[in-house]
Amino acid sequence: MKNFNVKNLLAGAFILSSIGFAGCEDDTPDYNPYNNYKTYPLKELSAEAKVVRDYVKADAVIAHRGSTFWAPEETEAAFRWARNMGADYLEIDLQRTKDGVLLALHDGNLRRTSNIESQFPGKEDYPVSYFTLAELRKLDAGAWFNIAVPENARQSFVGQKISTLEEVLKISEGMRIKRVAGEPVKDMTRLDEAGLWAGYYEFEVDLQDNGNRPGVYAETKEPYLFGGMEADLAAFLTDAGWNITDSPKAIATIPGKVDVANTNGRFILQTFSRESVVKLEKELPGVPKCMLLWEDESAAYVRPSNSIESLAEFINFSVEYNCHIAGPSVKGKPNGYPDLTEPWMCEMYHRAGMIVHAYSFDTEDQLRRYNGDYFYAGVSRFDDPAREISGDYKYDVNPNMFIDGGFTNLTDLSMNYQNREVVGTAQEVMDNLGY
């Protein structure tokens, strides 16, 4: 554990005993490098909350923004690819337009992932909430990718559109945007108050759909950015039949294919924001929730340092508001995130009854490290569920030290690591989808 010097601890204990303190009664636990995290006081999810936790697909492969590596993130191309590749969940970032439409978009503005500079000069740094859906449909959300990731560039990415939440759900259900001569077909039955096209497209059955029905894993932002977002989301999910606590619809599935969309774990909520998670619990009780972790100095965020006390505060807050999942970052290239998924941390999450969905996995080394393979001579639990520990450790190596699922930009990598059936290489799946 970081910042814990055993020699100094022993020296300090000797000094204290030499001045007569050894005999004093001490009501604090005996915290040392190997057991302090096991005894530090934590709240635990209730029996009812654990029922909701168990809705979540085990060993979940969560397609981060669809993909940021193989296709323009959070576009139809990325989400269709992740669905056909076999992801359990399509991960999205929720924002809201000026006219109240829920979108899948990560950044606070549109500069990086669109051609806004040419379409709306001078407004490159405006938030998405400044624009209506119809205005946003003027943007090309795909061409930038061909410049940023030239090794995976495709001409067919040019002209991709920003996705709405509705479109993501439709993709999960095996649909796609209807196109004629490559152009999206406007839905002229959905007009704005002035009687003009409101920015919606028609849908059609996706002929390249291979039968997978993933769930959706949606992140809400700080409430001050989108006041009432949580209530809007609850109303939308109910209308769409995706709210499991309010007349969810049946979604047809195929044996042997991903079927998460037709389970109670079909929609997972996630946020870094304390305020948002309180609102989510109010608006969508009984829906699985993930509290994301980040080392941040904002009081609005749960901001654990690598200390037991900080992590315990995060866990106790999360349990209080029925967050069933901890979402810590992992270290390593290419992101260089802080490591909030160390083995002792995972033991604390699990001791509170939570499961662990860490972010973001982009290398096999990360998958092996956080699934514990290096404690078992490199053997994966997916290769050998009865794997044996290799080496001597001064602590108990056990499954609670490792993750239960992960966000990835490379669904294909995680699928292969878990020995799941795959339908082809990442590029072949993209080819088969017509890109």
Q: What is the pLDDT of residue 359?
A: 97
pLDDT at 26 over 50: no
Query: Is the link from the previous residue into 334 a cis peptide, with omega within 30 of 0?
Result: yes
φ, ψ at 49 (rounded to 5°): -65, -35
Q: What is the pLDDT of residue 295?
A: 79
Candidates 216, 358, 351, 184; CA nearest to 176 is: 184
Least confident of 44-53, 152-161, 226-235, 386-395: 386-395
> CB neighbours (10 Å) of residue 367?
23
pLDDT at 7 over 50: no
Average pLDDT on 54-64 reads 98
Strand 203-205 versus strand 175-177 pairing type: antiparallel
pLDDT at 244 over 50: yes
- More confidently predicted of 20 and 411: 411
Candidates 293, 296, 299; CA nearest to 315 is: 293
- More confidently predicted of 301 and 50: 50
pLDDT at 19 over 80: no
Query: How does residue 18 score in pLDDT terms, banded at 50, 70 and 90?
Result: very low
Least confident of 289-298, 359-368, 400-409: 289-298
